[in-house]
Amino acid sequence: MPVTETDSGKRYENTLAVILFFSWGTVFLDRMSQLYLAPYIVPEFHLTHEQVGLLASAVSITWALSALFFGALSDRLGRRRILIPSMFACAILSGLSGLAQSYHQLLLLRALLGISQGPTWSVMTALIEESSHPSRRGRNVGFVVSAAALVGLAAAPVLTTQVAARWGWRMALLLTGVPGLLMGGLIWKFVREPQSKSGESRSHHAIAFRDYFSILGYRNLWLSAIGAGSFVSWLFLQNAFAPLYITQVAHQPPTTAGFFLGATGLGSFFLGLLLPWLSDRFGRKPTLLCMAVISAIVPLAFLSLPLYSHPWGLAAILFLTNDGQAIFALIMVLVPTESVPPRFAATAIGFVALSSEFIGATFAPTFGGTMAEAYGLAAPLWMAAVGAVLVFLVALFLKQPQRPTSLPMETQVSTAD
């Protein structure tokens, strides 16, 4: 639907935000649960640190490719045609992961899960971004993206480890598929296909294949891709290896690891709501610079062994410093989509996701596992801190986004920034 300020437009905007909030939360629950269950999966399959990293990378590489391909396809064919089948596939494949009888079966199922999940990211974020009034764009995107923190980073580590402690990790994975089936049904029933400002459907504005390459002329898009790669390195290195560091180096039980990860995820949820909303008022760049500095504290807190004797103090530090979901909203959605014409919103998100997944969620966990084997489990957490520093450096070179309103011609591309 066109972005309007009518009462019905505002109501639909709010309804859409709520549905996509819970939908994105369930997707991230499916993706992250495997990492939190690593202390249970590792001994059963006798996994090395490198294999733990490869499990995360398998999801990431397929996610990256499908986010770009299906995101671009949704720019051409429509959002619903891509999003609804993807949601149901996510739910089914997440549940099936609990039936894996070997490491290689689990690896294959998680790779297929990545294919189904990639489109949900690019399509959901494009949907809420293009359906929001410009004055509420940061607020709404931040709200939807923050669901990953509340569900995937706060609730998931606590719930999955508690279920696994009582009924095993397989049951924990089987249960993760249930919410996705519900949300797929709600999207099918309530989410409408967005229209252009003229009221025509997306199919009336077919994009030629060569037109997709025009967005590569925007400098902010490339900077967003680099920054997103650094940010996702920060995210996945600490979520893949912090549970193992807490249990194997700090000698805490898996449920305590779930408690600490839940605290940092809950903090990320609240900061994910607040900081993108502030960026609507103070600008994307200055907000992003501040967030990058704060996020560097999280992996350093995990590394501080004396803090584990004060669990509530450590939990408070993690709660107050994890602004990852706010970074997610800016560097992976708002900056890239506001730097290219609106017709290419999902393509821009998919392009940035491709970079972030290959660098941050495929290469970084695998390399982090190798470094952990050589230098101990502290190494990948130091790498995560470096990732936050790189986000800060990238943000220094960003220009405050001003969305173009039409397809860029060659002369426009050369002067886009």
Question: Is position 204 within any domain?
Answer: no
Does residue 151 carry a pLDDT above 90?
Answer: no
Question: Is position 285 within any domain?
Answer: yes
Give the mean pLDDT of 387-393.
Answer: 94
Q: pLDDT band for position 381 (50/70/90)? A: very high
pLDDT at position 52, please? 80
237 within 8 A of 365, measured Cβ to Cβ: yes
Question: Is position 253 within any domain?
Answer: yes
Q: Is the overall model pTM greater than 0.85, yes or no?
A: no
**% the chain with pLDDT above 70:** 90
Cα(173)–Cα(343) distance, integer angstroms: 37
pLDDT at position 3, please? 45
Q: Supply the CATH number for residue 217's domain.
A: 1.20.1250.20
pLDDT at position 223, please? 93
The number of angstroms, rounded, from the C-alpha of 225 to the middle of its chain's C-alpha atoms is 13
pLDDT at position 390, please? 95
DSSP string, 275-312: HHHHHHHH-HHHHHHHHHHHHTHHHHHHH-GGGGGSHH
Question: Is position 198 within any domain?
Answer: no
Question: How many other C-beta atoms lie within 10 A of the C-beta of residue 198?
Answer: 8
Question: Is position 2 within any domain?
Answer: no
pLDDT at position 414, please? 34
pLDDT at position 400, please? 74
- Domain residue limits at 274: 7-191+213-414
Give the mean pLDDT of 5-31.
Answer: 84
Q: What is the residue whose two structure tokens read 């995820």? A: 265
Cα(303)–Cα(242) distance, integer angstroms: 9
178 within 8 A of 91, measured Cβ to Cβ: yes
Q: How many domains does the chain have?
A: 1
pLDDT at position 19, please? 94
Does residue 2 carry a pLDDT above 50?
Answer: no
pLDDT at position 413, please? 37
Give the mean pLDDT of 346-354.
Answer: 86
Question: Is position 391 within any domain?
Answer: yes
Task: Convert the pLDDT of each residue in 261-282 to its tens digit.
Answer: 888 878 888 888 888 888 888 8
